[in-house]
Amino acid sequence: MLTTFILTLVAAQAIFAAPSPRIYVPPDPPNVNISNPPTALGAECPGYAASNVKKTDSSLTADLTLAGPACNLFSTDLVDLKLSVEYQTNDRVHVKIYDAGLSVFQVQEEVLPRPPNNNAASSDAMLQFDLVEKPFSFTVKRKENNEILFNTSSRQLIFESQYVSLRTSLPTNPNLYGLGEHSDPFRLPTQNYQRVMFNAESPFIPTKSNLYGSHPVYFDHRGDKGTHGVFLLNSDPMNINISRTDAEGQYLEYNTIGGIIDLYFLAGKAPAQVSKQYADVVGYSPMYPYWTFGFHQCKYGYWDVNYVAEVVANYSTAGIPLEVMWTDIDHMDLRQDFTVDPERFPLQKMRELVQTLHSRDQRYVLIQDPGIHAVMNYSVFTRGLEQDVFLKNADGSTYLGVQWPGVVAWPDWLAPNTQSWWTGEIQRIFNPDTGVDIDGIWVDMNEASNFCHDTNCDPAKTAKDEGDPPPPAHAPRPNTGRPIPGFPADFQPTTNTSSIKARNSKPLSPRQAQNGTMKGLPNRDYLNFGYQVNSHRGPLSGFTIYLNNTNRDGTKQYDTHNFYGHMMSHTTQASMIARRPKVRPFVLTRSTFAGTGRKTTHWFGDNESSWEHYRTSIRQMLAFVSMHQMPLVGSDVCGFNKDASEFMCARWALLGAFQPFYRNHAEISSIPQEFYQWPKTIKAAKKAIDTRYKLLDYIYTALYYQTTAGTPIINPLFFLYPGDANTFGIQHQWFYGDALLISPVTTDASDIVTFYLPQDRFYDFWTYEQVDGMGANVTKTGLTEQDIPVHIRGGSIIPIRANSANTTKALRQQDFVVLVAPGADGKAKGRLYLDDGESIEQPNVSEISFNWDGKKFAADGSFGYVGASGESLTVKSVQILGQQQAGQLGTFDSATKSVTVEGPWKLAGAFGFEL
């Protein structure tokens, strides 16, 4: 029955589908060669001289003056600068170099609130700042071992109106990480390598290219000498070059076309401590709903509401748990935000769909894009005009571009009325009583992506030539006669445009004076400038909002482009809170900036169904979770573009189950790749989701500690073994939490994997066999599509659910089993966090610590959470691995060398036992 039903649905797609590409493939990336970077031309520039140096116990200030004739390399040298150094905490130093007139753009506080300055005593600080007055340079060193972490003396500072350059020397062959978003190696290359910070739509996530986000922070790991971080708070387009020369050695060099030098030095010394210190600067993640860790399904090309319901039913029939159903832009009326297609997704049926999902304890998420269709019969647009929320041209008319619905206007997220307008639109269409009662919002295309290729674009002509919006490819389907399991019996399926009316335009009202406002130097050329930032999409105003657009607060897109999507996602998050003030919001965004994780989540964009992108998803996860403080991230499982294969998709189902965000998603022209499509993926998905759900409280607990202490829920191996040089370059293994080592097959179409086991005690997660790592590679063969090596790190205690379930709500009704995996010293510890999984305010929570000292097991801590009706707060049993005999209380299993002590114990107070 299942096979027949699924094959019928696939056949239907083949009949009806006439897909058009969703993405615009960019031109070939520029041929970047930085072996002789442009800044080599500035070697003769005079630099600056420091004067009027003033020191206190916790700060230093100085004036910086151009030290000779201006070289005006790419624009005009600024003569007078200021230096400010703050020992903000014992582990953080803030160094800021800015223009004396305070005209150069600085990132607004509303975009990234600054951390407090605690005025730490420099004598107590872990780091030490020193300067040379003429020619000006500075160093930052770790006082504990006199390790120089940052040294600018090899090249003079250049600070021009449209070009700023600063170089630091590095050790030979450094271990550098971060500088996202990219699809390159996790440990960054160190010769002729360039990271471009310019957010852009990036089909197929090309390598050596800028992608959807800008996170100018790097971690420098020096083994036993410690790990430190450097964050440049600058949103302007930039190239960051990492290379070496015989004369100057290894270096990292910032080259930006605007903004200031605003550096935060994070002392570490352990890698995870740097993560925490970075969170102190850019903000901690919020807690997300418990259900977001469930399995999600989406595809661009579910062309009517009936199709969406059939997918949900197929998962149910196949016995594969599905927590969240998503719908792409298919649901919109001619791709217009805040609408539903009246024929294919009629509101009544959408409401019925969501009500059915909610009755089954499942969830629903819809997409929204920033481009608002600019036609006068579209009320979302006209209300936006009335509230003055759109970006404008210099003459006061609405700035127009092209996106999915055709000619569009772009919200100005810095305008005073945009938040209330956006919230109103969300509340109108997603009203639980009259609209589509969604559980989360997905914001896409927000780099922002513009189908206008360049600044010569005629939006109306471009939209017409490229067919935006295209007419729906599929006619509404009549009643197919097929029942959809789990849905009401009547659940079966039973466009106007106009041009913008002429309107009077008026010049923009006078802006606040530029001088002293930190909103950007006046009289810059925003479209043509001397220094080239090497975006893979070509000129910076191509395929996006033109950089000469002025935001409502007087700043320019030239300076603020990189946080356009960041502001959209944060605005959407605030709207979702306004819609449901007591419930944790869920917002997924494609475009990100430093601090985006303070409110929203991210997926890695439009990858492809390939083994390389299967591997890439691991590298991207490692960087985003452990270094960019975005814990709930993941890739499109099985790939977005191109056609997935059965074996690869089965492998990806297992890999994705051990990543934070777990969603299968494909492009409209791709073949269906839902897990129920193939026998191998059905088996793999059942095992993957079963295991993921049993471990959900373990990883939810890890999320809690990332939100409160900055401790990553995903750990690169060197985070836990910082002194083991063999771990520094490992990029295809990771720790899920701090206890489970994941080592997936990463060779194309292979059943073999070679992975590294540090010198430590481990246990095979599947068999409980004790394995002592020797600090060497281990090879496993004969791994089927249902196999993924997972090892428990010795010294860990893991709370798991005794059984899985079809939904996360049902999962919470299952008892706990506590798994104890002693280390080589015979001891272990772990923890469990419990709350209701959904409320923003959690007055009653449990934070439970587990401890095993070799003989005694103890659980203590706080036990405030009492649970909902039907929810289990019972520990069924405690299982202790690596044992040789039962003791007085337990039952010994010779096959697994484990002892099980049966409960039950209620998680309402401390308990324990002694073997």
φ, ψ of residue 40 to 5 degrees: the values are -60, -30
* Helix or strand run (H / E) with residue 386: helix 379-387
Report residue 173 as tokens: 């062959």
pLDDT of residue 37 exceeding 80? no
* Residue the block writes with tokens 């230093």: 60
HSE-up of residue 223 (Cα within 13 Å, Cβ side) = 10
Beta strands in 39-169, from DSSP E residues, in sequence order: 48-55, 59-66, 80-89, 92-99, 127-132, 137-142, 147-151, 158-159, 164-169
Q: What is the dihedral of CA 147, 89, 135, 238, to 10 degrees?
A: 90
Q: What number is the average pLDDT over the span 333-351?
A: 97
**Pick from 328, 322, 364: which is nearest to 662 by CA?**
322
Mean of per-residue pLDDT scores for the chain: 93
CA distance 824 to 761: 6
Mean pLDDT on 811-819: 98
454 included as an active-site residue: no
- Identify the CA nearest to 626 among candidates 556, 720, 532: 720
pLDDT class of 43 with cuts at 50, 70, 90:
confident
Mean pLDDT confidence for 418-432: 98
| pLDDT above 90: residue 213 | yes
Output the pLDDT for position 816: 98
Q: What is the pLDDT of residue 395?
A: 85
Question: Residue 762 half-sphere exposure, CB side, CA atoms within 13 Å?
Answer: 25
CB 368 within 8 A of CB 337: yes
Q: Three-class SS of residue 6?
A: helix
Residue 495 has a pLDDT of 33
Stretch 823-844: mean pLDDT? 98
Catalytic residue among 77, 447, 636, 674: 447
Residue located via tokens 């002590």 = 901
Q: Which of 304, 606, 785, 835 is catalytic?
A: 606
Q: Quick check: helix, strand or coil at residue 791? A: strand
Instruction: Clarify whether 444 is annotated catalytic.
Output: yes
Using DSSP bridges, classify how beta strands 587-589 and 440-443 pair: parallel, antiparallel or unpaired.
parallel
Does the structure show a pLDDT above 60 at 5?
Answer: no
CA distances from 637 to 325, 614, 653, 703 (A): 14, 8, 7, 21
Share of the chain above pLDDT 70, in %: 92
d(CA 468, CA 225): 56
Is residue 24 pLDDT above 60, yes or no?
A: no
| Contacts (Cβ under 8 Å, ≥6 apart) of 523 | none
Instruction: Tell me the pLDDT tens digit for each residue of 491-514.
Output: 754 433 333 333 333 333 333 335
Q: Which residues contact 634 (CB under 8 A, 6 or more apart)?
A: 603, 604, 617, 621, 656, 659, 660, 661, 662, 663
Q: What three-state secondary structure class fits 467?
A: coil
| Active-site residue (options: 220, 304, 439, 444) | 444
pLDDT higher than threshold 90 for residue 57: yes
Q: What is the pLDDT of residue 288?
A: 98
Short-list 468, 459, 466, 465, CA closest to 497: 468
Q: Where are the beta strands (DSSP E) in 580-705?
A: 587-589, 592-593, 601-603, 633-634, 636-637, 663-664
d(Cα 537, Cα 203) in Å, to the nearest integer?
A: 10
Tell me what pLDDT residue 515 has. 65
Residue-wise pLDDT tens digits, 118-175:
999 999 999 999 999 999 999 999 999 999 999 999 999 999 999 999 999 999 999 9
> What is the pLDDT, as a whole number, of residue 497?
33
Under a CB-based contact definition with an 8 Å cutoff, are residues 805 and 695 in contact? no
The pLDDT assigned to 36 comes to 40
Read off the pTM: 0.94
What does the alpha-carbon distance between residue 832 and residue 875 come to, in Å, rounded to a whole number? 12
pLDDT score of 40:
60
pLDDT for residue 26 = 44
Average of per-residue pLDDT across 15-40: 44
Per-residue confidence (pLDDT) for residue 396, from 0 to 100: 87
CB count within 10 Å of CB 119 equals: 14
**Among 464, 454, 455, 457, which residue's Cα sits nearest to residue 406?**
464
Q: Report, as an integer, the average pLDDT of 345-363.
A: 97
Q: Are 619 and 647 in contact (CB under 8 A)?
A: no
Residue 739 has pLDDT above 80, yes or no: yes
Tell me the residue type at 789. P
- CA pair distance 914, 857, nearest whole angstrom: 6
In this prediction, residue 164 carries a pLDDT of 98
> At 746, is the pLDDT very low, low, confident or very high (cuts 50, 70, 90)?
very high
Residue 261 has pLDDT above 60, yes or no: yes
pLDDT in tens, 94-113: 999 999 999 999 999 999 99
Cβ atoms of 835 and 707 within 8 Å: the answer is: no
The predicted-structure confidence for 657-701, as pLDDT tens digits, reads as follows: 999 999 999 999 999 999 999 999 999 999 999 999 999 999 999
Which domains does the chain possess? 48-280 (2.60.40.1760), 738-914 (2.60.40.1180)
Q: pLDDT tens across 881-908, in order?
A: 999 988 788 999 999 999 999 999 999 9
> Using CA atoms, how far apart are residues 8 and 104, in angstroms rounded to an integer?
61
Which residue's entry shows tokens 């949900």? 312
Decide if 635 contacts 607 (C-beta within 8 A): yes
* Three-class SS of 554-579: CCEHHHHHHHHHHHHHHHHHHHHHHH
Residue linked to tokens 């083991």: 724
Please give the pLDDT value at position 23.
45
Name the percent of the chain lying above pLDDT 90: 89
Residue 16: predicted pLDDT: 33
Helix or strand run (H / E) with residue 16: helix 2-16
Q: What is the pLDDT of residue 784?
A: 97
Would you call 337 a catalytic residue per the annotation?
Answer: no
Q: Which two tokens stand for residue 191?
A: 């010769």
Span 867-878, mean pLDDT?
Answer: 97
